[in-house]
């Protein structure tokens, strides 16, 4: 049994709070206005303690540098069947309401954005199992564990936070988190991981040429007590293929991540937000049925730096 988040990392809405938030989100979704604008409006309808928890998370993190919000969606009886593609056509307001709530949460952490070459540049992405992609090491896969990674580790433009909102869960599909601050690493291994000896390639979800050259850098940076981490079990290698200590350090790190694992099986209405600079994540394997009722998450990425986003020329779209 994988341990979970601590109680201090969970904010559960009461039934009246859920009803209020969901009603406001549905009304906003019916208007079909600009999603980021509608989401900004929706912040005023979120419970104050939820807003406070997100602002606190942004400022000082949590024990595992993740935060779970529960009861964010009301009645999901009208939810359509789970799409079979990551770029589905028009979806009804039930999905729109959930998208707006995820964006409202994201706005409290910074600026939601995405990459032009990722799922048609959709600000909110669909994390679903896709027929024929079972073995893919991307959110579309299912047949094998989605290995340890940070979102978009190949670029310095990667998000500071990501949020996953669950519309449909799948028993046994566990989102796994390993906080960098909980890793027990030998001093010599940690020292190698702090040197710029590692390179990450763009993952298969990114379409077309990458907007930046692959980053060569360290895996660990920042203070020992709260380090930042940039790791990808599949797409990262020593920059010099002959660098055996660097390869060994990556292997040792994978084992340390396994030992530090906590997990959460997402349920409908859950929103999991995680610090993409300080934790590594993955997901256990599961067996989709492709009957329209498979696991369905919405995902949004957030930059904590509005200045960096504006300097790139576009706050919402990068690349």
Ligand X SMILES: O=C(O)CCC(=O)C(=O)O
The CB-of-236 to ligand X minimum distance in angstroms stands at: 15
CB closer to ligand X, 126 vs 181: 126
Binding mask 168-197 for ligand X (x = CB under 6 A): -------x----------------------
Binding mask 271-290 for ligand X (x = CB under 6 A): ----------x-x-------
CB closer to ligand X, 127 vs 190: 127
The CB-of-276 to ligand X minimum distance in angstroms stands at: 10
Rounded distance, CA 241 to CA 249, Å? 13
The CB-of-159 to ligand X minimum distance in angstroms stands at: 11
The CB-of-9 to ligand X minimum distance in angstroms stands at: 17
Vertex 194 angle, CA 201 and 219, to 5°: 30
Which residues, numbered 46-105, are part of the site for ligand X (CB under 6 A)? Answer: none
CB closer to ligand X, 24 vs 303: 303
Per the annotation, does 149 bind a ligand?
yes
CB closer to ligand X, 29 vs 166: 166
CB closer to ligand X, 121 vs 245: 121
CB closer to ligand X, 42 vs 115: 115
Residue 159 within binding range of ligand X, rule CB under 6 A:
no
The CB-of-223 to ligand X minimum distance in angstroms stands at: 26
Per the annotation, does 195 bind a ligand?
no
List the end-to-end C-alpha distance of the chain, in Å, as a whole number.
Answer: 40
- Number of Cβ within 10 Å of residue 144's Cβ equals 12
Residue 124 within binding range of ligand X, rule CB under 6 A:
no
Cβ-closest position to ligand X = 139
Rounded distance, CA 217 to CA 181, Å? 19
Q: How far is CA 318 from CA 73, 106, 122, 126, 303, in A?
A: 29, 17, 11, 18, 11
Residues flagged as binding site: 149, 151
Residues forming the site for ligand X (CB under 6 A): 127, 139, 146, 151, 164, 175, 281, 283, 297, 299
Binding residues for Fe cation: 149, 151
């Amino acid at each position: 049994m994988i341990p979970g988040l601590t109680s201090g990392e969970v904010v559960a809405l009461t039934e009246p709070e859920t009803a209020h938030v969901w009603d406001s989100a549905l009304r906003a979704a019916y208007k079909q206005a600009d999603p980021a604008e509608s989401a900004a409006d929706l912040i005023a309808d979120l419970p104050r303690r939820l807003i406070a928890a997100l602002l606190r998370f942004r400022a000082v993190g949590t024990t595992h540098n993740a935060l779970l919000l529960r009861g964010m969606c009301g009645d999901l009886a009208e939810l359509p069947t789970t799409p079979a593609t990551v770029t589905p056509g028009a979806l009804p307001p039930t999905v729109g309401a959930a998208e707006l709530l995820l964006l409202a949460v994201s706005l409290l952490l910074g600026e939601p954005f995405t990459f032009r070459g990722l799922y048609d540049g959709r600000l909110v992405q669909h994390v679903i199992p896709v027929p024929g992609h079972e073995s893919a090491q991307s959110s579309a896969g299912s047949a094998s564990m989605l290995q340890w990674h940070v979102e978009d580790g190949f670029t310095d433009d990667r998000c500071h936070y990501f949020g996953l909102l669950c519309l449909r869960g799948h028993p046994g599909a566990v989102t796994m988190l390993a906080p960098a601050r909980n890793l027990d690493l030998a001093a010599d291994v940690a020292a190698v991981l702090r040197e710029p000896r590692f390179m990450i390639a763009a993952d298969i979800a990114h379409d077309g040429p990458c907007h930046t050259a692959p980053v060569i850098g360290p895996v660990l940076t920042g203070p020992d007590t709260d380090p930042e981490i940039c790791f990808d079990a599949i797409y990262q290698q020593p920059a010099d293929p002959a660098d055996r200590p660097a390869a060994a350090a990556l292997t040792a790190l994978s084992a340390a991540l396994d030992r530090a694992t906590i997990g959460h099986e997402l349920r409908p209405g859950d929103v999991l937000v995680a610090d993409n600079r300080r934790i590594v994540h993955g997901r256990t394997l599961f067996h989709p049925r492709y009957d329209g009722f498979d696991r369905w998450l919405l995902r949004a990425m957030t930059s904590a730096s509005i200045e960096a986003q504006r300097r790139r020329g576009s706050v919402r779209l990068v690349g």
